[in-house]
Amino acid sequence: MTGKIYIVGIGPGSSEYLTKKAIDTVKASDYTVGSTRAIDLFDDVKNTIAFNVKELLDTLRQGVQLACDGNVVSILSTGDPGFSGVLNTVLRLSDELDFPKENIEVVPGISSLQLAAAKCHIQWDNANVMTFHGRENIEDILPVINNGKVTIALPSRKVKDMAQFLLDNGVEADRRVVVCERLSYPDEKIVEATLKDIAQSEFTYMCIIVIY
């Protein structure tokens, strides 16, 4: 008997941003796979399989295999699974393990990018939306950075490194930038400054950068 995989978006980090669909899906699953931080958002979980970044691929493969064995498996993805989430990885593993795609359902979540747009009052369907998670080719930002639209980006490295990269490539030092750090957490911080100032500041890795 073939099981079922749910790829569940768990929002930016606070339980306030979990959808009812996400909560109900995890509650009804035989196994839940995710980071400890993600699993801890849910009150009613049966069997949990936690991973860290180094173990991510092996743990996701274990989750897909459990579904191949007939179980209902929820795989938790920070934010929305389709934006810097685990969707592509799970689909690739399902091909590898011959798990049918019609038995995979994506439960969308609220991404930190959406929350950053809301905090900054940005109509984000008219913004440059970019993610550099897991990518080193941050030069892809250069063709759009001066197209007249706001750029909202998930940086691949430290925020100050991305700011310095832009400065090194001719972006004005006084360009207005907002850094949204640890959105939805109790220590959430939103900093507005110039690009030059951001290049000289320290932030955690959980940031969205907004460039006006």
- The CATH number given to whatever domain includes residue 162 is 3.30.950.10
Q: Are 116 and 103 found together in one domain?
A: no
Q: Are 18 and 101 found together in one domain?
A: yes
Q: Are 71 and 130 found together in one domain?
A: no
Q: Are 59 and 34 found together in one domain?
A: yes
Q: Are 117 and 190 found together in one domain?
A: yes
Q: Are 187 and 121 found together in one domain?
A: yes
Q: Are 25 and 95 found together in one domain?
A: yes
- Look up the pTM and report it: 0.89
Q: What is the pLDDT of residues 104-143, one digit of tens each?
A: 999 999 999 999 999 999 999 999 999 988 766 789 999 9
Q: Are 98 and 120 found together in one domain?
A: no
90-104 average pLDDT score: 97
For 191, counting Cβ atoms within 10 Å of its Cβ (0-12 exposed, 13-18 middle, 19+ buried), the class is: middle
Structural domain for 22, as ranges: 4-107
Domain end (from 107, 137, 169): 107
Q: Are 9 and 103 found together in one domain?
A: yes
The per-residue pLDDT for 2 is 78
HSE-up of residue 200 (Cα within 13 Å, Cβ side):
5
Domain end (from 51, 85, 107): 107
User: Is there a contact between 78 and 85 (Cβ–Cβ < 8 Å)?
Assistant: yes
> What is the number of structural domains in the chain?
2
